[in-house]
Amino acid sequence: MTHEVKEIFAGGTPPAPAALAAKVRTLAPSMTRSMQRVAEAVAGDPAGCAALTVTGLAELTGTSEATVVRTARLLGYPGYRDLRLALAGLAAQQQSGRAPAVTADIAVDDPIADVVAKLAYDEQQTLADTAAALDTVQLGAAVGVLAAARRIDVYGVGASGLVAQDLTQKLLRIGLLAHAHNDPHLAVTNAVQLRAGDAAVAITHSGSTGDVIEPLRVAFEHGATTIAVTGHPDGPVTQYADHVLTTSTARESELRPAAMSSRTSQLLVVDCLFIGVAQQTYETAAPALSASYEALAHRHRTAAR
């Protein structure tokens, strides 16, 4: 069963071009120890690994050929051969293009200027990873669903709750009927009302937040079209999701909780959703946007510009 799911997922995701490091991080938790060793080697030294055959990489990581192939599959490639090609591409990009730039962790005694630089760099990296790994087909489908939905419910708690509210605020601005639910009970209560033609969006980094999965399940079972925005596409939440949008998972450190970069990633996805929907509903969205600007204008003391 589990394998079936994995294979379907792998099939749906076309071979990643340069978002490999991100994918490794995203999928690392669902990997076995041996596979993690392989993934680590691959992410750590793309150029070096590209020079190795299956057997070589297996020996290097102290595993077997089978494990290497399995890892390649999990990362979304048909086999090791293709992973190797992608690796070669990645290596070439790294070498020619931008600085590989070592992301040092933020330390307790870093001066504040370093903190700013490191944080900015990390968030930029997160954005790049997310954009590279985002499945545009799924995104397009999700946009279509939202644009056509009679009503949109968005679920998220904690840090993801803010992202849910952000999406809702934006959708409301272009005249769509959206609502963000923070309270799990109320969320479920409202989810019961949904039916075919409605849309439900669940936002959860872990992919296993019960408080968010539950309303999505109810919405799903009542016939609403469901969308999951998660960093763990193999988590339980995807069971009830018609469309899955994957956010990138950056490694966290003691001082920097995962919530920070997952939020950046989620916001990018949400922004893409919003722009996509705005494009599709441009006729109504544009006037609605201007209207909301004007309505807000008088809340500013002086026209600041």
Partner DNA sequence: CCCCGCCCCGAAAATATCTTTCATACGTGA
Partner DNA sequence: TCACGTATGAAAGATATTTTCGGGGCGGGG
List of residues contacting DNA (CB under 7 A): 2, 32-35, 53-55, 62-70, 72, 78-82, 84
Select 64 or 165, whichever has its Cβ closest to a second copy. 165
Does residue 288 touch a second copy according to CB under 8 A? no
Distance CA(296)–CA(15), nearest Å, equals 45
State phi, psi for 185 to the nearest 5 degrees.
-65, -50
Site string for a second copy, 214-233 (x = CB under 8 A): ------------------x-
Q: How far is the CB of 214 from a second copy (least distance, A)?
A: 9
Q: How far is the CB of 66 from a second copy (least distance, A)?
A: 21
> What DSSP letter does each residue of 14-52 carry, written as one string?
---SSTHHHHHHHHGGGS-HHHHHHHHHHHH-HHHHHTS
Select 69 or 269, whichever has its Cβ closest to a second copy. 269
Select 223 or 287, whichever has its Cβ closest to a second copy. 287
* Bridge partner list, 200: 153, 226
Does residue 264 touch a second copy according to CB under 8 A? yes
Q: How far is the CB of 114 from DNA (least distance, A)?
A: 32
Select 23 or 84, whichever has its Cβ closest to DNA. 84
109 three-class SS: coil
Q: How many CA atoms lie within 13 A of 122 on its CB side?
A: 23
Site size toward a second copy (CB under 8 A) is: 85
227 three-class SS: strand
Q: Which residue has the tokens 């370093």?
A: 114
Does residue 38 touch a second copy according to CB under 8 A? no
Q: Scan residues 243-262 and list those touching a second copy (CB under 8 A).
A: 254-257, 259-260
Q: Scan residues 8-27 and list those touching a second copy (CB under 8 A).
A: 17-18
Distance CA(87)–CA(120), nearest Å, equals 27
76: left (phi over 0), alpha (psi -120 to 50) or beta: left
Total residue count of the chain as it appears in this document: 305
Q: How far is the CB of 102 from a second copy (least distance, A)?
A: 10
